[in-house]
Structures are given as C-alpha cells and as structure tokens.
C-alpha cells in the first residue's frame, strides 16, 4: 500500500519486501507440519507483530511530535493512525498515547519488551495505563512498571 505518494525507497521498500516474504509462507501446507511447529509459528507471528508494533510506535511518535500529518490533510495523528489501521474509534488515540509514553525514559523497558517480541501492544497498553495511574513518585512508578513487566513475561 502506498500512502500519500511515498516512494519505494528506504524503509517502506524494506517493509514491502518483508510483507512479501511473509505472504509466501501462506502457501505452506500446514497439515503436513508437526503440532509443535504450528505452535511455534503462532508464537513467532505474535513476536513479529510485537516487533512491528514497536517500530510503528517509534514512527507514530515522530509523526505526533512534528505534526507531520496535518500538512497532508489529516486532522491529527490519531485520525491518521485510526484510518490506516482500520481501527475502531479511539484506536488512534490509544496508539499515539502509547507511542508518546514509550518514548519517555520511564517506559523505555516497555518499548524494549515490545521490540524484543515478547510483549504485545495490548499488554503494553494495560501496563502503561496502570503505571500512569500510580502516584507521581518516579521510583514507585519504575518499580510498578518492572513488576508488571515481570508478571507479563510469566504469562
């Protein structure tokens, strides 16, 4: 998908190549595969989605910080993200919020966990909201974040 006249150079081209590689895997005869491999594929897909979501958060943060979507006719980064993702009302707002938080030093471990592929966006949003609801004490918030990440890793 090409948006707003973007060229095939750089990161969009690399993402297109990755998407093409993944699309080829759909031709796999899954019935001929072992159960353990099927389970590993599902886990691998989830890890890949988390890593891609982490990449998206970095880019969404940059779009939000620079108001890059407004000159191109979008009312807000939130609206752009909701539209591109085909998400429900509030989806863009939640992604922009998570993108902004994961760019802060406190939430850096959250961003790293997503990039490492073991923390989903849904779990990251739950952790982010829980930590954000804690009192403003930085040590308490950091301990709370680490505790929630430790628990999420065990799930």
- Determine the 3-state secondary structure of 29 from DSSP: coil
Token representation of residue 101? 């938080």
Measured between alpha carbons, how far is 139 from 62 in angstroms, rounded to an integer?
Answer: 27
Q: Which domain holds residue 71?
A: 49-154
Is 19 domain-assigned? no
pTM, entire model: 0.87
The total of structural domains in the chain comes to 1
Is 130 domain-assigned? yes
**8 A C-beta contact, residue 95 and residue 60:** yes
Is 114 domain-assigned? yes
Q: Is the model's pLDDT at 1 over the cut of 70?
A: no
Is 29 domain-assigned? no
Tens-digit pLDDT profile for residues 41-76: 999 999 999 999 999 999 999 999 999 999 999 999
Q: Assign residue 17 a region: left if phi > 0, alpha if psi is -120 to 50, beta otherwise?
A: alpha
Measured between alpha carbons, how far is 51 from 32 in angstroms, rounded to an integer?
Answer: 28
pLDDT of residue 87: 80
Is 122 domain-assigned? yes
Tens-digit pLDDT profile for residues 6-55: 555 799 999 999 999 999 999 999 999 999 999 999 999 999 999 999 99
Is 41 domain-assigned? no
Is 23 domain-assigned? no
Tens-digit pLDDT profile for residues 68-108: 999 999 999 999 999 999 888 889 999 999 999 999 999 99
Q: Is the model's pLDDT at 3 over the cut of 60?
A: no
Measured between alpha carbons, how far is 88 from 109 in angstroms, rounded to an integer?
Answer: 27
């Amino acid at each position: 998908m090409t948006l707003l006249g973007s060229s095939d150079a750089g990161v969009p081209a690399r993402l297109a190549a990755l998407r093409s590689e993944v699309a080829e895997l759909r031709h796999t005869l899954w019935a001929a595969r072992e159960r353990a491999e099927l389970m590993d594929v599902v886990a691998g897909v989830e890890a890949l989605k988390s890593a891609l979501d982490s990449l998206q958060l970095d880019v969404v943060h940059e779009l939000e910080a620079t108001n890059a979507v407004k000159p191109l006719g979008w009312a807000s980064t939130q609206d752009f993200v909701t539209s591109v993702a085909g998400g429900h009302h509030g989806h863009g707002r939640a992604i922009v919020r998570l993108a902004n938080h994961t760019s802060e030093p406190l939430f850096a471990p959250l961003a790293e966990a997503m990039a490492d592929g073991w923390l989903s966006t849904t779990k990251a949003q739950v952790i982010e909201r829980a930590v954000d609801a804690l009192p403003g004490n930085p040590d308490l918030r950091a301990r709370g974040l680490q505790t929630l990440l430790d628990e999420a890793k065990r799930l």
